Amino acid sequence: MVVIIGAGPIGLATAIELKKRGIKSRIIERGCLVNSIFNYPTNMTFFSTSDKLEIGKIPFISHGDKPTRQEALEYYRRAAEHYDLDVRLYEEVTALNGNDGKFEVVTEKETHKAEKVVLATGFYGQENRMNIPGEDLPKVTHYYDEPHKYAWQNVIVVGAGNSAVDAALETYRCGANVTVVVRESELKPSIKYWVKPDIENRIKEGSITAFFNSELIEIREKEAVVKTEEGLKTLKNDFVLAMTGYHPHFGLMKTMGIELTEDEKKMPVFDENSLETNRKGLYVAGVVCGGMDTSSLFIENTRVHAEHIAGHVEHGLVKS
């Protein structure tokens, strides 16, 4: 039995590859199926084409050039149903005991015995906090869903990536008074090419206010303080959308005994061919492998992890 922690696309893909090899697996997920995709903005469109998101050789048919969040949710649900995967949802892992061949995966509900364990938790569940006064106010969120509730409100969007740009444009088109706060001198070059001209033009014409080389330093009930190149500015504010990114579950990795690199990326230490970590029998898969470098790994370039891990597990079980 192999226990896979994380029911995202790569966790599902790994279970599928194991099943093709006749190896039983069980997926444990603290949220819903493909929880990270579920928490994407309601109207989000993927950067990748649908064929790059496929797993288990099941065709992903999208109605447009780029698949939507809703299409992806349905696709991965159907993939899990097609392969009749053993998935345990809303069950958080708290500890990993034992050794290779005799692991015990401890959750809030029960203990699962496993010969091998795969960590495929991604990074979307842990937000990068700003660590400023007022960040815990109810009006602050690190997860953007849809724009309607921000209509006619004073909204500050923090961030320079796709999530920030999508949130800024959608809330602006719902009638919000939008201000974007960016630490860097410009928006990230990785902004979706069909969206970048839109946000740039809205900023240029003044429809959306943007402060570059700036930082949000305090959030209050009805206002917020921004440190800009021209000094401190106090803005009227009803909501703050902190699109500051996310990071892997380092606490869980530490609990499981996974070593991390000592540089700023904090990547888990693993074998590049098998993806086995320093703890024998424990593997990492998917975007979690990139540590803090969350922009380099995606579904499309980590799907291969499933085959590498399944092949190594099969070889090890046969050998033993």
The predicted pLDDT at position 296 comes to 81
Ordered per-residue pLDDT tens for the chain, 320 residues: 999 999 999 999 999 999 999 999 999 999 999 999 998 888 888 988 999 999 999 999 999 889 999 999 999 999 999 999 999 999 999 999 999 999 999 999 999 999 999 999 988 878 999 999 999 999 999 999 999 999 999 999 999 999 999 999 999 999 999 999 999 999 999 898 899 999 999 999 999 999 999 999 999 999 999 999 999 999 999 999 999 988 889 999 999 999 999 888 899 999 999 999 999 999 999 999 998 887 788 899 999 999 999 999 998 775 54
The predicted pLDDT at position 318 comes to 58
CA-based torsion, 151, 157, 163, 168: positive or negative: positive
CA angle 42–244–131, rounded 5-degree value: 130
Find where tokens 């579950």 sit. Answer: 249
Q: Are strands 209-211 and 177-181 parallel, antiparallel or unpaired?
A: parallel
Contact by Cβ (8 Å): 261, 159: no
The predicted pLDDT at position 275 comes to 97
Q: At how many degrees (to 10) do helices 9-20 and 304-319 cross?
A: 40
Q: How many whole angstroms separate alpha carbon 219 and alpha carbon 224?
A: 4
Global model pTM greater than 0.85: yes
Q: Are strands 102-107 and 111-114 parallel, antiparallel or unpaired?
A: antiparallel
SS3 96: strand
Q: How many whole angstroms separate alpha carbon 215 and alpha carbon 224?
A: 11
Q: Are strands 87-88 and 2-5 parallel, antiparallel or unpaired?
A: unpaired
Query: Residue 78: which residues within 8 A CB-CB, separation 6 or more?
Result: 58
Long-range CB contacts (within 8 A, 24+) of 102-109: 103/3, 103/281, 103/282, 105/3, 105/5, 105/28, 107/28
Query: What domains are there in the chain, each with its CATH number?
Result: 2-126+246-319 (3.50.50.60), 140-242 (3.50.50.60)
Contact by Cβ (8 Å): 92, 70: no
The predicted pLDDT at position 317 comes to 75
Query: Residue 289: which residues within 8 A CB-CB, separation 6 or more?
Result: 267, 268, 270, 275, 297, 302, 305
The predicted pLDDT at position 320 comes to 47
CA distances from 218 to 9, 130, 187, 199 (A): 37, 10, 22, 25
SS3 79: helix
Q: How many whole angstroms separate alpha carbon 194 and alpha carbon 265?
A: 30
Q: Are strands 116-119 and 2-5 parallel, antiparallel or unpaired?
A: parallel
Largest CA distance in the chain: 67
